[in-house]
Amino acid sequence: MASPFSGALQLTDLDDFIGPSQDCIKPMKVDKRLGSGVAKIHIEDDGSYFQISQDGGTRKLEKAKISLDDCLACSGCVTSAETVLITQQSHEELRKVLDANKTLAPGQQRLVVISVSPQSRASLAVKFQLNPTDTARKLTAFFKKLGAHYVFDTAFSRNFSLLESQREFVRRFRGQADSKQALPVLTSACPGWICYAEKTHGSTIIPYISTARSPQQVMGSLVKDFFAQQQHVTPDKIYHVTVMPCYDKKLEASRPDFFSQEHQTRDVDCVVTTGEVFKLLEEEGVSLSELEPAPLDSLCSSLSAQEPTSHRGGGSGGYLEHVFRHAAQELFGIHVDEVTYRPLRNKDFQEVMLKSEGRVLLHFAVAYGFRNIQNLVQKLKRGRCPYHYVEVMACPAGCLNGGGQLKAPDTTGKELLQHVERLYGMVRTEAPEDVPGIQDLYEHWLHGEGSERADRLLHTSYHAVEKASSGLSIRW
């Protein structure tokens, strides 16, 4: 079924669209003035609108704008990639900051930091027929050629997301006797799923959602707090950009929860998709494959990054596998080397079990795409959800198939995804607890595991969006 949104509002051809529950209900300020009410509207060549009254007077009319905050506070449209006009989350905005820096003295420039997701890197690697390491090094060279100062890999921040998810699950599993809403734990790394849960199901579902921040937002904490301290600058002097596989990450970065009132800055200032990076390359007349590689940057000055690293468990971060293996060892003393998935009604809904003497000890699942998410939610509402933990992602096939990833007109979607999965899987994997620098950061930056500071910088909260009463929502 074709999307009911106009082409101007349709950001991507992602095929898991959910129809809006109602038309946009953002309240508009209406300037009521005395008069006959008859006026003409004149449109200038530059697109400006002027109201011409009967006496010949003119008044320029303001354009209606919908901000990302408006979208997040609205109970109307819900899609896997919120289809809104985005004015402050684009590669054009990044270019403005880079251009402005060129006119300023070095001491007045904003420090531009770009954090690249492993999923975006894999998509670009397929496009330019490169291996992941060369892609990472050439992307670093390209962004620095544009004027960026540092280029990081969000696989590093994902270590914290995974470790915090592991600890949270064990704590909630042990406390399930004290709370009916302790389990199942539903992952929180996908902002499309979070927006849907907050707007559509609110307080019914929110208590089950993991409070662990996504890798993007942990990177926001690392860059605007830890790295700012290392560079001896305040957080507002850093312009932090992330490269992500989906448009929903723009909405996540715009959440009020990730805005510092003290410094008047967001943890992530701008999110550009993989496709927007490709546009930047085209606009610069650059082919990534022809660039000379540059050394990779590391967040910790004591460490040097020779190659990108990743995690086990698939292209959406490996949450299920890491939590499952950790919980099996921590709760039951059982070592799990390989996690075996059992497909259910489709390949995007699979489950994993830990059994001992015929008894199910752990029951986990992955649910990708909104059809499976809706089935999961219905089971939960009816009290028939058998799972302890569910890895939830809005996009069918997960993050590697995000709406912001590159398309290939001459290749089927399935073939392209297989290529991206193969290159994503070529990267060396590490257990998050073994990654150099992670334990030192817990000790010196966060003041220990489970500290107030760790809770504040690595976790977040969710908010039910009250449904607005509007005549536009009536279905005849």
Which residue is listed with tokens 């649910």? 367
Q: How far apart are CA 279 and CA 283, in angstroms?
A: 6
State the sign of the Cα–Cα–Cα–Cα dihedral 205, 209, 213, 214: negative
DSSP string, 36-51: -S--EEEE-TTS-EEE
Consecutive H or E run containing 265: strand 265-266
pLDDT at res. 16 = 40
pTM of the full predicted structure?
0.83
pLDDT at res. 34 = 52
Each residue's pLDDT tens digit in the chain (476 positions)? 344 332 323 334 444 434 444 445 444 454 555 555 566 776 676 666 777 777 777 887 776 555 555 554 454 454 444 444 455 678 999 999 999 999 998 889 999 999 999 999 999 999 999 999 999 999 999 999 999 999 999 999 999 999 999 999 999 999 988 888 889 999 999 999 998 899 889 999 999 999 999 999 999 999 999 999 999 999 999 999 999 999 889 989 989 999 999 999 999 999 999 999 999 999 999 999 999 999 999 998 777 778 999 999 999 999 999 999 999 999 999 999 999 999 998 899 999 999 999 999 999 999 999 899 999 999 999 999 999 999 999 999 999 999 999 998 888 989 999 999 999 999 999 999 999 999 999 999 999 999 999 999 999 999 998 765 554 444 44
Q: Smallest Cα–Cα separation from 158: which of 469, 458, 466? A: 458
Q: What are 262-306's pLDDT values in tens digits?
A: 999 999 999 999 999 999 999 999 999 999 999 999 998 777 778
Q: What are 242-273's pLDDT values in tens digits?
A: 999 998 899 899 899 999 999 999 999 999 99
Q: How buried is residue 5: exposed, middle or buried, by Cβ count under 10 Å (0-12/13-18/19+)?
A: middle
pLDDT at res. 20 = 41
